[in-house]
Structure 1
Amino acid sequence: MTAGTHTLPTIVADPAVTTALAADLDAAGFSVEGVDALWGVDAAAALHRGNRVAAVRALDARPTTPLTTLAMLFVLGLPVPRTDAEQAFPTAGLDAVVSAGLLRVDDDRAHPTVDLRPYAFVDDAGAGSWWIVSDLGELALGSALDEEHVLGIGGATTTLSGLQVPVPVHRVLDLGTGCGIQAMHARRFADEVVATDISRRALDIARFNAQLNGIDGIDFRFGSLFEPVVGERFDRIVSNPPFVITPRTEGVPSYEYRDGGMVGDALVETVLRGLAEHLEPGGTAQLLGNWEYHWGVDGLDRVRAWFEGTDLDAWVIERERQDPNAYAETWIRDGGTKPGTAAFDQLVGAWLDDFRERRVTGVGFGYVVVRRAQTGGSVELRRFERVPETLGSNPAGLGATVARVLDAAAWLAAHDDVALAAAHLTVAGDVTEERYYWPGNDDPTVMTLVQGGGFGRRVDADTALAAFVGACDGELSVAAIIGALAQITGVDEQVLAADLLPTARDLVLDGLLTPA
């Protein structure tokens, strides 16, 4: 039950080398589009599943170019002739790339020691593309990962980068930076970024990535959790912390990139409880995390308790819940131990023993959005919800959604029912209405309000709610619309208001209605 034992390279961030290497990567056309074109959609899909045969065959059928060499080395994780490697780095030089820790050369062949691949994205600042170095994965290694493995870009990466609020701020903290990708995203909307990690290798790689992509203004600091920033406050904190629940059992690998060394979900609790001390008034935090369900105790109720007594707004969104078996299998496979082996079975047993002893019945995964109240202000938002994975499955635009929800919560807190009734609301531009009829009926049987963006929420509406939303064009106040509907339907106006005002609040919070 041990992790991989291969030697991890020392990554050296020399500005002269990273500048020359960037020139070589750019000249070769080493981009997402360029690499995808080498082997096509089907081979790319197979590669995503851990099968590189089709991609290798596609490269073998092509003439050797710097682009094919880079793809073979750094995306497929396979060696190439030394002469091909020399031609791929005309500016940096092969020896410099070896000295930086990206390659090793023996027997006239160059072998990759890291994963280096292009990455493209779009955010509110526009389209961007970078090259990201991380440690070789299971496919290239052919074995389990090393405990000091530095993870590259995955689903959690894009989720958290998409959650970052795209509003310019002065200072951002990236807690547990890993390969540095979140710090680099944060720098696009911040004057300064502090990036911390407990892994010196991770900081070396993150520093290399920032240099390789010409990104300055990031202060990399070594240390655990908030230790490197004692006494400092930030306008924004982002974190994909090492939250994976790992048994504290001898022989169970403890991967630095995912395991914070605490029992259960204590690390997530520690991070959330520490936010208030390090956020400026009005500052926000966006994080990913796990939380446990215990016998007779709901997981979201446990998270809710972590915010008691704080001046933090909290919006916790659970996207998935796994039973103990599924959770154990997910993270054991993530470490490179394959099902069907004795090592896999032993690790599953260790996880299940740990969960049983601590009375854990399941583990939730999701997003946490936090805002510290302004000085003298009060808590405006405490929302703990389960949103199906099918809703808001594209994380790219969720940062703007987070910003809208926080603004809406502040607006609602400032408007009691009297003020809300006097307000003018409009239907968001991405909202449509679906109607379903029984054959031959003129009146709809089901009406549903559908949000096109954000989490793609679907709200079932009765006749009164559908009519109310349809009339929200900014011209009439909420009270005037309710009064008109009461006259048309013959319903008591106060009864109708008592029914529609709470729903209107929910629709404003979710972004289906917006203050005019």
Structure 2
Amino acid sequence: MSDTRFPLPDPRRSAALAADLDTADLRSEALRRLWGEEADDALARGMREPILRAIAGDDGPLATLGRLLVLGMPQPLTAVAAALPRLGAEGLVDLGLARTEGDAVVPTALLRPQSFVDADGIGEWWIASDLDEVALDGALPADHVLGVGGASRTLAEIVMPVEVDRALDLGTGCGIQALLVARHAGTVVATDISARALAYAELNAQLNGVSNIEFRLGSMFEPVLGEAFDLIVSNPPFVITPRVEGVPEYEYRDGGLIGDALVEQFIRTAPDFLTPGGSAQLLGNWESRGAQVALTGRAGLDRLSSWVPGDLDLWVIQREELSPLGYAELWIRDGGTTPRDAAFTPLLTAWLDDFAARGVTAVGFGYVLVRRPVAAGAGPALRRLERLPQQVSNVGAALRDGLAADDLLTAGLPTTLLTAPDVTEARHLLPGNDDPSIIELRQGGGFARTIAVDPALAAFVGACDGELTVMQIAAALADLFEVPLVDLWADLEPRIRQLVLDGLLLAGD
């Protein structure tokens, strides 16, 4: 367990700290200017020496707070007092973020600026969390509260930008998702099994002046029994960890269950807490087991699909897949243990034995979206299980638009269609041949899909400018290609619907 103090949220002291941080300009761009882009990038790779060299001899407020709160290094009491004129060093201690040792202030937490972008624009928050591996100079304690990491940023990117009345952030950690969702929700309930994490989350809400979040302690959905939400988001502790003695159980990533059972439990349970039309979104891992993966190539996705009743919408996007060895090494290193450490090989053995016991052949990672229909029997449920390893962008908006397109298609194709503005066409020709051997439609944003089409479908998409109706375009193409309209339409219609669902074609009316 960590030997550092719990954060002690206090509205008055948090407001004073926020004012001091603002005066010192503890912001991402200001820090980057202070110590330079190369040193800033080096910190992201776990190296702080370039920053220390860049600000050596600088005892100003920004440099002092940069060393103290961003890097997690002790600073002289007099310098900290000068950098925090409203709060003072004693106020920082009272918030549980530092302690004093003689003439030095020793940080017990990090506090870093974190930029974000959403539908309302660009912003930045201050986010407090536990000291990281660099500041600790060693492995993390089991009750470590993580700051804003890669998974947090990924979840923030995929959450749909929709206005909701009530939202739930399950497993809030340092509270970053609750802060983001609170910008588009009337009320957010943020839960966590860790009282330490909730203390950080509440402190972060205070620091950033966010008041519409309610914090509750408890496991999974226990703190919200009997309630329903329009949006549920979660970056749950989904990491698959061997349940054997000697393997650390990190609260921020390990849910205490065997294999991918925690993700399964979340996906099976979340629909019971959704309002009609409500959605649940999460990150997760899922295992592929046994020989079936060799036959279908998608055993993990199929297992996940079986957890969701057929009357609910399900959209799963697998971003990557790791072998048992690759997965084990990733998460052993994440805990601060490297192959140079004596503990590495026993940990690796435990992970590989655990996977072998269940016949795990691969572990997938990605995004899961489950939606409860507004009304039962309104139409066939959406079921999309995809592998999208390519670079993606603005995923939340793409998911929102994809669900809206599915709802639209339930009533039939729109009368007119428009080609989405980010769609381009590529044609590949063999030398000396005027007819393309390959025609592709390419999506510039969202899921960046590349879709092979034939000349008829390419011509249809090219004519979708909102002027002609869908059937007028189809009739003209039937004449052009000299085929019966009924035959052409039978071939084109399902592929047109797919292009609408994928966002390459938009409703024109």
Contact 1:427–1:514 (Cα < 8 Å) also in 2? yes
CA contact (8 A) 1:380 1:410 kept: no
Aligned to 2:374: 374
Determine if the alignment matches structure 1 residue 330 to structure 2 residue 330: yes
Stretch deviating more after TM superposition (368-377 or 284-293): 368-377
| 1:184 aligned onto 2:185 | no
- Residue from 204, 212, 216 that aligns with 2:211: 216
Q: 1:498 aligns with which of 476, 490, 493?
A: 490
Counterpart for residue 47 of structure 1: 43
Q: Which residue of 2 aligns with 1:302?
A: 303
Q: 2:410 — aligned with what?
A: 413
Q: Is 195-204 or 334-343 further displaced after alignment?
A: 334-343
Q: What does residue 20 of structure 1 align with?
A: 16
1:441 aligns with 2:433: yes
Residues 283, 372 of structure 1: 8 Å contact kept: yes
Distance 1:154 1:87 in 2: 31
Q: Which residue in 2 is equivalent to 1:285?
A: 280
1:399 aligns with one of 381, 396, 400: 396
Matches of 1:302 and 1:308 in 2, distance apart?
A: 12
Partner of 2:386: 385
Match of 1:471 in 2: 463
CA drift at 1:70: 1.0
* Distance (Å, rounded) in 2 between the aligned partners of 1:461 and 1:446: 8
Distance (Å, rounded) in 1 between the aligned partners of 2:154 and 2:380 = 26
In structure 2, distance between residues paired with 1:378 and 1:441: 46
Letter of the 2:300 counterpart: G
| Rounded Cα–Cα distance in structure 1 between residues aligned with 2:379 and 2:13 | 51
Q: 1:277 to 1:357 in 2, by over 3 A?
A: same
SS in 1 for 2:248: coil
Matches within 5 A, 1:141-290: 141-290=136-285
Q: Deviations over 1:256-311 (max 9, x none)?
A: 111111111111111111122100000111111110000134000001100135x3
1:483 matches 2:475 = yes
Letter in 2 for 1:485: L
Contact 2:231-2:274 within 8 A present in 1 as well? yes
- Tell me the distance in 1 between the aligned counterparts of 2:332 and 2:150: 17
Aligned to 2:361: 361
> How far 1:195 sits from its partner (Å)?
0.5
- Secondary structure (helix, strand or coil) at the match of 2:343 reads helix
**Hey, what does 2:31 align to over in structure 1?**
35
Quick check: 2:2–2:143 contact (8 Å CA) kept in 1?
no
Q: What code does the residue aligned with 1:478 have?
A: V
- Shift of residue 378 of structure 1? 4.2
**Structure 2 counterpart of 1:124, which letter?**
A
Query: For residue 487 of structure 1, what is the amino acid of its counterpart?
Result: D
Q: Distance in 1 between matches of 2:226 and 2:490?
A: 47
- Structure-1 separation of matches of 2:137 and 2:362: 31
- Cα RMSD, aligned residues only: 1.3
TM normalised by structure 1 equals: 0.95
Shift of 1:79: 1.6
Per-residue CA shift, 1:346-403, capped at 9, x if unaligned? 1010000000011111100000112101133344311111111x230x4xx2211111
Give the residue type in structure 2 aligned to 1:357. Answer: A
User: Which residue matches 1:76?
Assistant: 71
Deviations 1:398-422 (A, max 9, x none): 211111001001111221xxxx3x6
Q: Give the ranges of 4+ consecutive aligned residues of structure 1 lying more than 4 Å apart after TM superposition.
A: none
**Is there any run of 5+ residues in structure 2 with no aligned partner, and where?**
293-298
Pick which of 190-199 and 109-118 moved more: 109-118
Cα contact 1:432–1:449 (8 A) shared by 2: yes
Is the Cα–Cα contact under 8 Å of residues 379 and 410 in structure 2 kept in the other structure? no
Q: Distance in 2 between matches of 1:442 and 1:80?
A: 72
Matched, 1:10 2:6: yes
CA distance in 1, matches of 2:2, 2:185: 38
C-alpha contact (below 8 Å) 1:300/1:384 kept by paired residues: yes
**Distance in 2 between the 1:339 and 1:242 partners?**
24
Contact 2:268 2:307 in 1 (8 A): yes
Residues 435-493 of structure 1, C-alpha deviations (whole Å, 9 max, x = no match) = 23334433333322111110111112221111111011122222221221121112332
Aligned partner of residue 342 in structure 1, secondary structure: coil
Partner AA of 2:356 in structure 1: R
Partners in 1 of 2:433 and 2:345 — Cα distance?
Answer: 59
The counterpart of 1:95, out of the listed 75, 90, 98, is: 90
Say whether residues 1:118 and 2:113 are aligned partners.
Answer: yes
Q: Percent identity?
A: 55
Between 1:197-206 and 1:44-53, the stretch displaced more is 44-53
How far residue 6 of structure 1 moved from its aligned partner, in angstroms, is: 4.8
| Partners of 2:206 and 2:342 in 1: CA distance | 43
* Alpha-carbon distance in structure 2 between the residues aligned to 1:181 and 1:223: 18
2:296: which partner in 1? Answer: none
1:295 aligned partner, one-letter code: G
Secondary structure in 1 aligned to 2:288?
strand
In structure 2, distance between residues paired with 1:106 and 1:379: 65
Stretch deviating more after TM superposition (95-104 or 12-21): 95-104
How far off its partner does 1:75 sit? 1.6
Question: 1:167 deviation in Å?
Answer: 1.4
Once the two structures are TM-superposed, the CA of residue 246 in structure 1 deviates from its matched residue by 0.5
